[in-house]
Structure 1
Amino acid sequence: MVSLLARLSLPGQRDPDARGPWQAAVLAALAAGAVTVLGLLGVGLASVVVQTLDPAGGLPVADSARLAGRLWLLAQGGGLAPASGPLVLAPLLLTLAVAWGLSSAGRGVVRACDVAGGRAVAAVVVAAAAAHTLLTVLVALLAGTPRVPVDLLRSAAGGAVLAVLAVGWGAARDSRLLDDVLDRLPGPVRPLLRAVAAGLLTAVALALVVVAVAAAADTAGYAALAGSLGGAGAGAVGLLVLGVLLLPNAAAAAIGLAAGPGFAVGSGTLVSVHGVTLGAVPALPLLAALPDTQAVPLLAFASQAVPALAGLVAGGTLGRWLDDDDAGSVVAGLWGVLAGVLLGVACGLFAFAGAGSLGDGALAGVGAPPVATGLAVALQAGVAAGLAAAVTRWRSLG
């Protein structure tokens, strides 16, 4: 009773533990700023360490910091405009790291300030996104030079979109706003989202296996290309780090290959199950995974199972997570078809995020075509997911 009375406040008295919405917004802005600062410090430190391995001395610290800033901007959808043409290609692994940091910031603010309700969550998201966008613009101004200008508008827009999506996701999850929205939707919607997520993860994992097998099949080409670039330890480590950051991009291209449309590395190189056209490509060791001849490799034909396998996983996941009162096997099959279609949409968006440009002319387009990839995956995965969902549901109902 004493503790209960101690927690009660008199009329007009302010609760010392209560936090106003403006405090949560300020904390969200500070948290978003901390993500940018810590992220830039990490990328900059990695750049400086790589440069110290160069026996010739490498880049000065200021240039290494500028390089880190440009990489940070590219990861958020920004662009550079050197004389060779626009450079717009997001290293998706770094993009995922930035998104994870912003999402964690949103979740931390929600927990610390006990944020609840749509307006309070929106205030947190707006404050964090505004702070992140302002810092992105500042980084763009500092990272640009007359020789390598930065696309300021694209960088600001990319940072804003990424912050809204990442912080919004984290804040909506921990404030239970997302659960409240899902509870108002039909019952199978939640299992449907689980199924699409499982199918997408399966497609990406299988695509990474395809990339790994292709690269392992030509280790001599990788070593020769890496050695020809020079730079001793700095060149080797730098190229390895860059290849790791671009692995999700390579997975997006592999999904395009598996779905049928294939992928391009500029206008001179196109790889698909319908044919291979080889042209000049950038001196990036990861591209040693490309075919060595005009013949379609056997791996390309084997990779065509990826959309169907991802659809089977999505359908099986959907069938297992449906409640007893949701639907029978026939209706589950229809929901499975929808899961496959949404999986195609997710793969198309993934291909869009992994594509870009490495300059003008022959390297203007790099990656898999998003629309064609999404449609092809939706068609193949929709059939597989519908069958898998119907069979799984039928077995679960006994």
Structure 2
Amino acid sequence: MVSLLARLPLPGQTDPDARRPWYPVALAAAATVAVSVLGLVGLGLAVVVVQTLDPSGGLPVGGSARVAGQLWLLAQFGGLQLSSGPLVLAPLLLTLAVAGGLSQAARGVTRVVEPEDARAVAGVVAAVVAVHVLLCVLLALVVDGPGARTDLLRCAAGPAALAAVAAGWGALRESDLPAAGGGRLPGPARAVPPAVLAGLLTALGLGLAVVAVAVAADAAGYAAVSRALGGSGAGAVGLLALGALLLPNAAAAALGVAAGPGFSLGTATVVSVHGVSLGPVPALPLLAALPDTQAVPLLAFVSQVVPALGGLVAGTALGRRLADDAGSVVAGLWGLLTGVLLGLASGVLVAVAGGSLGDGALAGVGAPPVATALSIGAQAGIAAAVAAAVTRWRSLG
């Protein structure tokens, strides 16, 4: 899309190399609009199809489009004010899709305009962020209505933060700035970010495995909730899609259990290795993964190895990336730092995965970010230090 826009002639531009100062801004704006339009159309069509197949009639096209717009805003950490209270919970799978689109838009614009310095790169990122925030605010005004009032402040601040991170990442990947800045860092420091990412993906993948096992263990409960909510084929597909969008959130909650502090669904439902308290929860089939009794399930104890395994993967990745002159002691120290940063990244993930499903009993949903970060950082730090030191010792013969 960006390359196609770049080939179109612009008014007053006869020489392709003689680009106007506003050319990068115009291209970034067009690419950002394309991301939002394509994303909203795709999401809207999915909601319309599910509602059309509902034998009870479902929502009209206008209502389906409004639901799609609300999901789009929630995925970017926006908020809705329902009759039951504030709804602030980002379906992280959709969040990743939006971030990926914005990142590719900024990367494509950077590839075309070839900014010469950090200021020019920042201009591209700023244009993407400004246009995206404007579109989200306009969308919030459109979908606002009785029964679901939009929180304009959150619908502006959330998309701004997401667009800044995604567009900044995409623009930096295409520019020469990371290579220039990375050359000033010590060699081991350049190996830390990929190692932290490897450990985080490992921990998140293991968290997804824990959720999958928990849901499979209570397949009858999943089917019962699904039947109680409608039982039609369209309803089952819609619930399955909603559960898929929330899978990363569930994996983050599983990280809270694996770290020790656990997670909560409001004030009445708490799950951790220290105990289980069950209360009323939303009728969502994915919540069949919750324990059926007050006893701590065996799976919660088994999941305690997740932080250590994430640290082992991070430390091994770090040890393999270190220069040949790095010894085992140096590798172990950098591995300790890598594990601590892995805990910090896990805390951030847990924070963005949580939220609120209303007032009162469901005001807080998710794992505690600070406690989860400290616990994973301590466990992963030790494991990463050992793994990095052993990896370097083996490579040195």
Q: TM-score, normalised by structure 2?
A: 0.95
Return the letter of the residue paired with 2:180. D
- Aligned partners of 2:294 and 2:16: how far apart in 1? 72
Q: Which residue of 2 aligns with 1:339?
A: 338
Q: Render the CA deviation track for 1:302-336: whole Å, top value 9, x for unaligned.
A: 000000000000000000000123x2110110000
Q: Note the C-alpha offset of 1:185.
A: 1.2
C-alpha root-mean-square deviation of aligned residues, in Å? 1.1
In structure 1, how many angstroms separate the alpha carbons of the residues matched to 2:356 and 2:90? 10
Please show how residues 239-250 of structure 1 align to structure 2 within 5 Å. Answer: 239-250=239-250
- Mapping of residues 26-175 of structure 1, within 5 Å: 26-175=26-175
- In the other structure, the counterpart of 1:187 is 187
Q: Which amino acid aligns with 1:167?
A: A
Letter paired with 1:95:
T
Q: Could you list the per-position Cα deviations for residues 261-297 of structure 1 after superposition, in whole angstroms to 9, with x for gaps in the alignment?
A: 0000111100000100001000000000000011111
User: Structure 1 residue 108: deviation in Å?
Assistant: 0.5
Alignment partners' CA distance in 1, 2:16 and 2:34 = 27
Amino acid at match of 1:130: A
The runs of at least 4 consecutive aligned structure 1 residues that moved more than 3 Å come to: none
Paired position in structure 1 for 2:355: 356
Aligned equivalents of 1:57, 1:176: Cα separation in 2? 54
Q: Given that residues 268 and 277 in structure 1 are in contact (C-alpha distance below 8 angstroms), is that contact kept between their aligned partners in structure 2? A: yes
Q: Distance in 2 between matches of 1:19 and 1:340?
A: 47
Q: How many residues align?
A: 384
Offset at 1:21? 4.2
Q: Distance in 2 between matches of 1:21 and 1:167?
A: 20
- Give 1:179 deviation, angstroms: 2.1
Q: Residue 258 of structure 2: SS of its match in structure 1?
A: helix
The question of whether the paired residues in 2 share the 8 Å contact of 1:173 and 1:179 is answered with no
CA deviation vs aligned residue, 1:323-362 (integer Å, no higher than 9, x gap): 123x211011000000000000000000001000000000
Indicate how the Cα distance of structure 1 residues 255 and 21 shifts in structure 2: closer, same or farther if over 3 A, else same.
Answer: farther
Correspondences of 1:192-207 after superposition (within 5 Å): 192-207=192-207
For structure 1, list consecutive stretches of 5 or more residues without a partner in the other structure: 1-13
Cα separation, 2, equivalents of 1:192 and 1:211: 29
Superposition pairs for residues 214-229 of structure 1, below 5 Å? 214-229=214-229
Q: Deviations over 1:99-143 (max 9, x none)?
A: 000000011101112223101101100111000000000000011
Checking the alignment, whether the CA contact within 8 Å between 1:273 and 1:301 is kept in structure 2 is: yes
Read off the aligned partner of 1:341 and give its amino acid letter: V
User: Secondary structure at the residue paired with 2:145?
Assistant: coil
1:365 and 2:364 equivalent? yes
Counterpart position of 1:284: 284
Gaps of 5+ in 2: 1-13
Displacement, 1:161?
0.7
2:304 is aligned with 1:304: yes
Shift of 1:397: 1.4
Amino acid aligned to 1:105: A
